[in-house]
Structure 1
Amino acid sequence: MVLAIAHRAGNSLAGMHAANELGVDVIECDVHTYRGRLEVRHLRTAGPLPFLWDKGELVSASAPRLGLQELLEADQHGTLFMLDVKGPWTWAGRNVARMLHDGGHHRPVLACGRWWPSIDAMAHLPYVRPVLSARNRLEMARLRRRLSRGPRPYGVSVHCSLLDRDVVRWLHEHVSVVMTWPVNDLDVLDHVLDLGVTGVISDEDHVLAVVKTRAE
């Protein structure tokens, strides 16, 4: 089975509902800690400047922001969320773990990130499935060393440019799920499925729909 993972769909309630209507397996959201609050959003803060930004997009910093607890409480489908914990701070993972525990959200969640100590800080919870992410060749080399030594995570999320059949085969020997991104057209989908990945992360509904169709 190949997981259809809706990239960033959990960054808004409308996106979460749309992804659930599509029937995806996993909904991903970006989790930021800001002034002690866990927020889900793709846009980044700009220090003391009064806006959030990303690639030319600007939004007032005073605009309402969706909280992680609010997102989880709004879920009516038993969604499997993938929490992409942002920032090179171990305490970010601790904050998420504390919120899940104290907030009573004890259903399975995937915890993903490029700062692995933050993900490790969540791994003690029995309902958290840790996923280590690698974006570049340096991170990929570190990932191979980490998997060779252990402890082994539930899965990995690796940029598609870093994968070939041998790499995917080796990863499957060490983890349960090998995910990749970005998979936003059908040619790339065919390529990564041929490599043997078992999780497809996409922004595009039509790609996710094809993943679901092929899994049936």
Structure 2
Amino acid sequence: MVAHRAGNDLGALRAALDAGADLIEADVHAFRGRLEVRHLKSLGPRWLWERDELLLRRDIELYELPELVEAMGGEPRLLLDLKGIHPRLAGRVAAVLRDTCPDTVVTVCTQHWWMLRAFRELPSVRPVLSAGSRRGLRRLRSRLRSRPAYGACVHRRLLTPELVTELRRGAEVVLTWPVDNEDDLVKAHALGVDGMIGKDLRLFDPEH
């Protein structure tokens, strides 16, 4: 079970760790030399937005990747989702991991696979190639046939049990998202994936 966005808030992070999540997902953006942990997107230098939300940056308490790594306390359950296509994002994230937790296992996911080259010299980083569209899935299938990777992460609506079996030939683990309600959970289990990404930790309780 992957706790979706739980790493974006320190309170949610602790709750997810205590709940026994296998991985804690956090979104990382590069902004003016900082590595901000947030899901909201930038709209110019002053605003952040997502769907129907438009917020002033000054009104949001944001924290940065080194603070997240410190809060994890050496836990090997961090999944960093690299957001955007900033040319220095991956290199800066790799530098933070190299300086702060070089021997701790960290999973790094992105839909921009070229970014994963920045982590080649960090054997503790587990790269995950993500695909959220049919075009991305076609590319992923082709890529894994010639170049295996640690993991693949694909939007649930794109997957079938047969595709999961195929992807697993080139990836050690296959993850899917979103799994946010009972119906999602049933469908994800039927796919046979190795891990599910969701916001509601109660869904993944063995006694649920």
Question: Is TM (by shorter chain) over 0.5?
Answer: yes
Q: Are 2:154 and 1:129 aligned?
A: no
Q: Distance in 1 between matches of 2:3 and 2:74?
A: 15
Of 181, 191, 212 in structure 1, the residue corresponding to residue 187 of structure 2 is 191
Q: TM-score, normalised by structure 1?
A: 0.90
SS at match of 1:73: helix
**Higher RCO (Cα < 8 Å, 6 or more apart):** 1
Of 153, 157, 160 in structure 2, the residue corresponding to residue 161 of structure 1 is 157
Of 42, 53, 69 in structure 2, the residue corresponding to residue 45 of structure 1 is 42
Contiguous gaps of at least 5 residues in structure 2: none
> In 2, are the aligned partners of 1:123 and 1:129 still within 8 Å (CA)?
no
Q: TM-score, normalised by structure 2?
A: 0.93
Aligned pairs (5 A) from 1:92-171: 92-150=89-147, 152-171=148-167
SS at match of 1:178: strand
Deviation at 1:78, TM superposition (A): 1.6
Q: Distance in 1 between matches of 2:71 and 2:200?
A: 23
Deviation at 1:24, TM superposition (A): 0.7
Contiguous gaps of at least 5 residues in structure 1: none
Of 24, 27, 30 in structure 1, the residue corresponding to residue 24 of structure 2 is 27
Q: Which structure 1 residue ranges, 4+ long, deviate > 4 Å from structure 2?
A: none
Q: Distance in 1 between matches of 2:102 and 2:11?
A: 21
Q: Which amino acid aligns with 1:168?
A: V
Report the count of equivalent residues: 207
SS at match of 1:83: strand
Q: Which amino acid aligns with 2:123?
A: P
Q: Distance in 1 between matches of 2:17 and 2:102?
A: 18
> In 1, are the aligned partners of 2:76 and 2:105 still within 8 Å (CA)?
no
Deviation at 1:121, TM superposition (A): 2.0
Q: Are 2:33 and 1:36 aligned?
A: yes
Q: Distance in 2 between matches of 1:91 and 1:189?
A: 36
Q: Which amino acid aligns with 1:81?
A: L
SS at match of 1:42: coil
Q: Distance in 2 between matches of 1:123 and 1:202?
A: 28
Q: Are 2:197 and 1:204 aligned?
A: no
Q: Distance in 1 between matches of 2:72 and 2:183?
A: 33
Provide Cα deviations, 1:112-148, integer angstroms capped at 9, x if missing partner: 0100011232233110000000000000001011111
> In 1, are the aligned partners of 2:74 and 2:101 still within 8 Å (CA)?
no
Q: Distance in 2 between matches of 1:60 and 1:96?
A: 25
Deviation at 1:206, TM superposition (A): 1.6
Deviates most, 115-124 or 126-135: 115-124
SS at match of 2:203: helix
Which residue in 1 is equivalent to 2:5? 8
Percentage identity across paired residues of the two chains: 41
Provide Cα deviations, 1:70-107, integer angstroms capped at 9, x if missing partner: 01112247251100011124421111111111223530
